[in-house]
């Protein structure tokens, strides 16, 4: 039998760091990453046949659990009809309509293949429409790995303790203004100084890549007000929250209720049902700046790929109220158990939540409201917690700075296994 350790050694000889995406390398928790062989429902199985309750969910897409039979059937049917045409298809229209039905702020939608492409293109649209170059983003918010958006990004950039990335030209980084998260006065000050040159504010609808840091009440609405007062566009990044925190994403939980709306929204993860689909959408007059109608160019050989689109469409159609109710309940159960376990172990902590997304801040009861506070927490306690869970058959996110993802497939049996593993893991973190 091949072990994960052996495969990691082999991978290290052929691919940088042995992985196709940095956080998978277990860099911040140590040890060889588990090489996975299969996944079904709430479980993943490694190459040694060990089964784990999965709390990573493919980093978000697995809202229904892994390999939902109806999604797999839709993918198989689509694949049998052809893997790709590079021509328009019915499924693309249906997926765009399904998104607009759920998020009416999306009058037009363009399909791309990754969240990185979606945010990169949204920025280009904002620049094309406004004729301005600067972009405001927030420290600890992650929007994928395009050049201008890597400054003070969360996710793997946080896990690896990088300030940004080598290889980003200083001239491009200079177009990004990075502000502390949650500080409205800082946004106002930035606009007072640079207003006429700012094309857009981009922000995570609810930040979940520096751990989960829910937006303070009224914060996103304030961003909308300030951006629009200065003629800049508002780009709400829902790559992670879209179709996960509810059928209309964070937009449905907040903007729709409050009566304001972003100009552009970006989606990924759940909208592709586990395959490479992402999208940007928004007001028609803004989106129509995209080629072939307008002067902003964007294209993709694999955009709207029929197999991937079939997975996304099947997933959205299956994501009914019962699915969201189950994800919310499963998440609340785990949140409570995590908190109880840390309390019993005598470890100060905060479970931070944004709807059904959550993560833990260790070593403080005060929580963390921005990136600096997240980085000041006792994340060094997380590896012992993580490895104890892993030994007991629970696959938690391999970084303290990533959100935990539950699914509708996390039934009581799966949750019981998580609950049973938590006390020992919390004691390991507290030691």
Q: By the criterion CB under 6 A, which residues form the site for ligand PLP?
A: 59, 114-116, 119, 142-144, 155, 204, 209, 237, 239-240, 268, 278
Both tokens assigned to 179? 């502000």
- Of the candidates 43, 52, 54, 142, the residue annotated as catalytic is 142
Using the minimum distance from each CB to ligand PLP, give the nearer residue, 272 or 381.
Answer: 272
The upper half-sphere exposure of residue 384, i.e. CA atoms within 13 Å in the direction of its Cβ, equals 15
Instruction: From residue 297, give the alpha-carbon distance in Å to each of 110, 122, 125, 148, 290.
Output: 12, 11, 9, 17, 6
Using the minimum distance from each CB to ligand PLP, give the nearer residue, 282 or 422.
Answer: 282
Name the nearest CA neighbour of 308 among 271, 260, 338, 259. Answer: 271
Using the minimum distance from each CB to ligand PLP, give the nearer residue, 130 or 155.
Answer: 155
Minimum CB separation of residue 203 from ligand PLP in Å reads 9
Is 269 among the residues known to form the active site?
yes
Both tokens assigned to 246? 């509810």
Minimum CB separation of residue 246 from ligand PLP in Å reads 16
Measured CA to CA, the distance from residue 244 to residue 76 in angstroms comes to 24
Quick check: 25 and 18 in contact, CB under 8 A?
Answer: yes
Is 142 among the residues known to form the active site?
yes
Minimum CB separation of residue 146 from ligand PLP in Å reads 9
Minimum CB separation of residue 165 from ligand PLP in Å reads 14
Using the minimum distance from each CB to ligand PLP, give the nearer residue, 52 or 142.
Answer: 142
- Of the candidates 237, 263, 370, 371, the residue annotated as catalytic is 237
Using the minimum distance from each CB to ligand PLP, give the nearer residue, 142 or 243.
Answer: 142
Helix (H, G, I), strand (E, B), or coil: what is residue 54? strand
Using the minimum distance from each CB to ligand PLP, give the nearer residue, 279 or 422.
Answer: 279
To the nearest 10 degrees (0 to 180), the angle between helices 382-391 and 412-430 is 140
Residues for the chain: how many in total? 431
Measured CA to CA, the distance from residue 271 to residue 312 in angstroms comes to 5
Tell me, rounded to whole angstroms, the distance of Cα 384 from its chain centroid.
Answer: 25
108 DSSP β-pair partners: 282
Minimum CB separation of residue 116 from ligand PLP in Å reads 3
- Of the candidates 54, 203, 269, 370, the residue annotated as catalytic is 269
Is 237 among the residues known to form the active site?
yes
Torsion angle (degrees, nearest 10) of CA 15, 17, 23, 28: 170
Alpha-carbon Rg for the chain, nearest whole angstrom, is 21
Minimum CB separation of residue 209 from ligand PLP in Å reads 5
> Is residue 39 exposed (0-12), middle (13-18) or buried (19+ Cβ within 10 Å)?
buried
Measured CA to CA, the distance from residue 427 to residue 430 in angstroms comes to 5
Catalytic residue numbers read 142, 237, 269
């Amino acid at each position: 039998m091949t072990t994960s350790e052996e495969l990691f050694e082999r991978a290290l000889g052929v691919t940088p760091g042995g992985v196709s995406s940095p956080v998978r390398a277990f860099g911040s928790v140590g040890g060889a990453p588990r090489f996975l062989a299969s996944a079904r429902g709430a479980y993943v199985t490694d190459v040694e046949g060990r089964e784990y309750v999965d709390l990573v969910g493919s980093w978000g897409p697995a809202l229904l659990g892994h390999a939902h039979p109806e999604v797999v059937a839709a993918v198989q049917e689509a694949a049998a009809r052809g893997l790709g045409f590079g021509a328009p298809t019915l499924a693309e229209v249906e997926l765009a309509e399904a998104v607009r039905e759920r998020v009416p702020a999306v009058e037009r939608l363009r399909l791309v293949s990754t969240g990185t492409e979606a945010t990169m293109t949204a920025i280009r649209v904002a620049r094309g429409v406004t004729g301005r170059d600067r972009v405001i983003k927030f420290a600890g918010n992650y929007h994928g790995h395009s050049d201008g958006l890597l400054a003070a990004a969360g996710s793997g950039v946080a896990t690896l303790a990088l300030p940004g990335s080598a290889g980003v030209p200083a001239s491009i980084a200079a177009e990004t203004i990075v502000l502390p998260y949650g500080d409205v006065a800082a946004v106002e000050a930035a606009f007072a100084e640079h207003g006429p040159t700012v094309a857009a504010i981009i922000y995570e609808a609810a930040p979940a890549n520096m751990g989960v840091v829910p937006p303070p009440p009224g914060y996103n609405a304030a961003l909308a007000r300030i951006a629009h007062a200065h003629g800049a566009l508002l780009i709400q990044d829902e790559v992670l929250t879209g179709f996960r925190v509810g059928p209309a994403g964070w937009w449905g939980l907040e903007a729709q209720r409050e009566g304001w709306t972003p100009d552009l929204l970006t989606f990924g993860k759940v909208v592709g049902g586990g395959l490479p689909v992402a999208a940007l959408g928004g007001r028609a007059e803004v989106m129509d700046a995209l080629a072939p109608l307008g002067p902003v160019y964007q294209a993709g050989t694999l955009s709207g790929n029929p197999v991937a689109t079939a997975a996304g469409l099947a997933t959205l159609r299956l994501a009914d109220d019962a699915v969201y109710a189950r994800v919310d309940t499963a998440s609340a159960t785990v949140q409570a158990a995590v908190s109880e376990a840390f309390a019993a172990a005598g470890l100060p902590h905060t479970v931070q939540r944004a709807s059904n997304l959550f993560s833990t801040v260790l070593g403080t009861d005060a929580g963390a409201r921005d990136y600096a506070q997240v980085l000041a927490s006792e994340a060094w306690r997380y590896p012992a917690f993580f490895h104890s869970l892993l030994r007991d058959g629970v696959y938690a996110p391999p970084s303290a700075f990533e959100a935990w993802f539950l699914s509708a497939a996390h039934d009581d049996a799966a949750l019981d296994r998580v609950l049973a593993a938590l006390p020992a893991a919390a004691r390991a973190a507290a030691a």
